[in-house]
């Protein structure tokens, strides 16, 4: 079960264990509750599970593509490394992945 480093909305850092095969969004919601809204439940329809992937992980997890990229275009918080956590399926090789939660828009 990979452990993911998360910078929370208040700037505090925490570690969240996410079962391999689940999306990052599922793991974050399970551990952080309403801090990550994920209103559409993982349907790639709302961008309320937006995170920013740390620079050292961006190449490994890849950039947002297709609908994911389109949804992020409208975010005032879009940055290099922006991803929707519902589109990131966790695998053992994601151990140590670092992300920052993005404020609600």
Beta-carbon contacts of residue 80 (< 8 Å; ≥ 6 apart): 55, 58
The pLDDT tens digits for 32-56 are: 998 999 999 999 999 999 999 999 9
What's the pLDDT score for residue 22? Answer: 97
Domains and CATH numbers, the chain: 3-101 (3.10.20.30)
Classify residue 89 by its DSSP letter. B
The pLDDT tens digits for 54-95 are: 999 999 999 999 999 999 999 999 999 999 999 999 999 999
What's the pLDDT score for residue 12? Answer: 97
């Amino acid at each position: 079960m990979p452990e993911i480093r998360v910078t929370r909305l208040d700037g505090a850092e925490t570690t969240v264990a996410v079962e391999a095969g689940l999306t990052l969004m599922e793991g974050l919601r399970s551990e952080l509750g309403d801090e990550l809204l994920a209103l559409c439940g993982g349907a790639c329809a709302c961008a309320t599970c937006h995170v920013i992937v740390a620079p050292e992980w961006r190449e490994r997890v890849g950039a947002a593509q297709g609908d994911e990229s389109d949804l992020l275009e409208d975010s005032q918080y879009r940055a290099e490394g922006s991803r929707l956590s519902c589109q990131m399926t966790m695998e053992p090789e994601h151990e140590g992945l670092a992300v920052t939660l993005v404020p609600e828009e």
